[in-house]
Amino acid sequence: MAGIYIHIPFCKQACHYCNFHFSTSLKNKDDLLLAIHSELKQRKGYLKGQLIDTVYFGGGTPSLLTAREINKIWEIITKHHKINETAEVTLETNPDDLSINYLNELKQTPVNRLSIGIQSFFDSDLIFMNRAHNAKHARTCIEAAKDRGFNNLTIDLIYGTPTTSHSDWVRNLQTAFDFDIPHISCYALTVEPNTALAQFIKKGKIKDLDEIHSAEQFEILLDQIEQHGYEQYEISNFCKPSQYAIHNTNYWKGKHYLGIGPGAHSYNGHSRQWNVAHNPQYIKALNKGKIYWETEALTLENQYNEYIMTSLRTKWGVNVDQLMHWGQFNTTSFIQLAATYINNGLMELHNNNYVLNRKGKLLADTIISDFFIG
């Protein structure tokens, strides 16, 4: 099984923390969609006929697409790629786009899962982040989506924001639980280079983020999630029993994916490829038959490190039999280092799988990088 990711690089306004590739000018939208159509046709061989079980419209803001534009992309996907009839088809959406009319239109498309960028149910946080929606949109869009029959929902929430007190964070989570959302992704606010947030901090307009505040909210998150019957199946991803996102899980399990659109990444097991993250350059290159991507062949060391990085973040962990793919020496080295972390109460061994426990998850980045080779 494999996946297709389509990057829609447009947003109504720039969120202060975001460093994804997007433009707030929609003037190239039609040309860009035509270029995406061409790329989908040109790269029909990339996944070598593997059955696609997830198609993900990400961005940017894919909910700026009309139902007609989504259906056109889908028509090309199904013509040139082998799609499982039960494929998960996700559309990333912003709450202010999810009007009743738009949701009704989406019912006429193959989209069967909505990922809603809620981030917070508080206006103070949303203003701080410069989100296009307000707290009222955040609530009403979930009600409207469920009302229109979109029950396969995931929402994003952000913690560690200076405007979010611990009690606000508990209320944010409680609101998500009250809506009975089956899948929740929670991310710590981080300062990415070249963002408005980084500039504000540099100029002293706002204080740097408080790591302790953020770590405390991560602990609150883990307590709340567990109490409300959600499973943490990846450091930042939580779901009701077994309601894993196919798109995310495929990525963590090393399945192959084809990334279409400016800035999109692709992976086929032995190399990574990424498209130019510039809308006019992407369009021009597609129109003129020029190269619009870069490729990196993955060494065995790269592949090992990626396996460690993605697996240790998940509940499935690192499997000893799979490690043998990188030879006895690397397997033995892993097991020896893991034994130290087990003794220190940060890892556990479950049926041949090494996993981070709760204490280990708090130090995930440091522990994971300790296992890297090369």
Interaction site with ligand SF4 (CB under 6 A): 11, 14-15, 18, 20, 22, 59-61, 94, 117
Cβ neighbourhood burial of 123 (10 Å; 0-12, 13-18, 19+): middle
d(CA 374, CA 370): 11
In terms of CB distance, is 18 or 67 closer to ligand SF4? Answer: 18
Q: Give the nearest distance from C-beta 94 to ligand SF4 in angstroms.
A: 6
| Cβ within 8 Å of residue 69, ≥6 positions away | 33
Which residue from 30, 25, 36, 90 is spatially nearest to 63, judged by alpha carbons?
Answer: 90
In terms of CB distance, is 117 or 317 closer to ligand SF4? Answer: 117
Q: Give the nearest distance from C-beta 59 to ligand SF4 in angstroms.
A: 5
Q: Give the nearest distance from C-beta 18 to ligand SF4 in angstroms.
A: 3
In terms of CB distance, is 53 or 97 closer to ligand SF4? Answer: 97
In terms of CB distance, is 11 or 368 closer to ligand SF4? Answer: 11
CB 185 within 8 A of CB 157: yes
In terms of CB distance, is 15 or 181 closer to ligand SF4? Answer: 15
In terms of CB distance, is 11 or 32 closer to ligand SF4? Answer: 11
Q: Give the nearest distance from C-beta 8 to ligand SF4 in angstroms.
A: 9
Which residue from 55, 46, 54 is spatially nearest to 272, judged by alpha carbons?
Answer: 46
In terms of CB distance, is 15 or 77 closer to ligand SF4? Answer: 15
d(CA 235, CA 244): 13
d(CA 25, CA 10): 7
| In the chain, beta strands by DSSP E | 2-8, 52-59, 83-93, 113-119, 153-159, 183-188, 231-234, 237-239, 256-260, 265-267, 271-275, 293-297, 318-319, 347-350, 353-356
Q: Which residues pair with 265 in a beta bridge?
A: 274
Q: What is the DSSP string of 249-310?
A: HHHHTT-EEEEESTT-EEE-SSEEEEE-S-HHHHHHHHHHT---EEEEEPPHHHHHHHHHHH
Q: Give the nearest distance from C-beta 14 to ligand SF4 in angstroms.
A: 5
In terms of CB distance, is 137 or 256 closer to ligand SF4? Answer: 137
Which residue from 263, 259, 232 is spatially nearest to 247, judged by alpha carbons?
Answer: 259
In terms of CB distance, is 81 or 131 closer to ligand SF4? Answer: 131
Q: Give the nearest distance from C-beta 142 to ligand SF4 in angstroms.
A: 17
Handedness of CA 317, 320, 321, 325 (dihedral sign): positive
Cβ neighbours around 128 below 10 Å, total: 20
Q: Give the nearest distance from C-beta 6 to ligand SF4 in angstroms.
A: 14
Using the 8-state DSSP alphabet, how is residue 12 labeled? S
Q: Give the nearest distance from C-beta 61 to ligand SF4 in angstroms.
A: 5
Q: Give the nearest distance from C-beta 17 to ligand SF4 in angstroms.
A: 7
